[in-house]
Structure 1
Amino acid sequence: MPKNKGKGGKNNRRGKKDDGENKRELIFKEDGQEYAQVVKMLGNGRLDAKCQDGENRLAQIRGQMRKKVWIVVGDIVLISLREFQDGRADVIHRYTPDEARNLKTYGELKDFQLVENQEAGGESDEEGGIEFEEADIDDICEFCWFVQVVETNDDAPTFHEKKPAFVGLNY
């Protein structure tokens, strides 16, 4: 049998911490490239991106990044503009939140809001998005006509007649 001359198998590799992603060099845009923020994931390696020049472009994730770099809504990406199609582009780099903050401090990113811990679905913090005024709540409560009076004893609850919910209103 051959002797083990290596430094270990998969368990040794599993325990190593490779912080290469945190130490990578910051990539700035060049000619024919633009910073963009992901607006919507369309599937099949495509996404809708709002570029810094104000246009929304259909961007395609390049093959080298597929299944290795996961892009979600709200991420800042570097896209390569196509010379022959103005409305389309190719995603060539994804910035981490720390890198995006650094780009903003260097003055490269101007229009984008850096959103941290944004949910994948792009949902907002509002629940339903409907705000009621005090008068609306009173109008809604007018439809609550009757309340059933219930007495609870040790044995079982006893149901009585229905009475109006609002005192002073005759229904």
Structure 2
Amino acid sequence: MTKKKHKEAQQAQSFRIKFPRRKDGEMFGRIVEILGNERMRVFCEDKVYRLGRVRGKIKKRVWMRQGDLVLISSWDWETQTAGKLGKCEIFWRYRANEIAWLERNRKVPEILDINNIPL
């Protein structure tokens, strides 16, 4: 028997969207600047800039870029002090199809629109 020379038609795969758990301090954020050493400046939905650190579990698996929509977990034990940013952990990056679904269903706050973020 010979192999089929054409690709199988890909079926539409269903996917689950991860939402922030508000009671655990999770929220949406947008990467504004990459600082290096797995650290990024993140603009969060509560209109605060934070220093985000990529979680160790996804550090080498998921690559982050400027403008990506991410889920963050703010650190309660480290708050923002004079001249320093508050800190958070980045634990999820949304893919393009997930972002399209979130925007189509109006789940992302308008403050996180890439054109509205003040630099």
Across the aligned residues of Structure 1 and Structure 2, the Cα RMSD in angstroms comes to 1.9
The reply on whether 1:80 has 2:73 as its aligned counterpart is yes
The reply on whether 1:107 has 2:106 as its aligned counterpart is yes
Q: Which has the higher contact order (CA 8 A, sep 6+)?
A: 2
Q: Distance in 2 between matches of 1:111 and 1:23?
A: 28
- Which has the higher Rg, Structure 1 or Structure 2? 1
Q: CA deviation at 1:23?
A: 4.6
- In the alignment, structure 2 segments of 5+ residues that lack a partner are 1-9, 80-85
Q: What are the equivalent positions in structure 2 for 1:17-56 lying under 5 Å apart?
A: 23-31=14-22, 32-56=25-49
Q: CA deviation at 1:92?
A: 0.7
Percent of residue pairs identical: 28
- In the alignment, structure 1 segments of 5+ residues that lack a partner are 1-18, 116-171
Q: CA deviation at 1:25?
A: 1.3
TM norm structure 2: 0.72
TM norm structure 1: 0.51
Q: Secondary structure at the match of 1:111?
A: helix
Moved more, 81-90 or 35-44: 81-90
Matched AA of 1:84: W
The reply on whether 1:63 has 2:62 as its aligned counterpart is no
Q: How many residues align?
A: 95
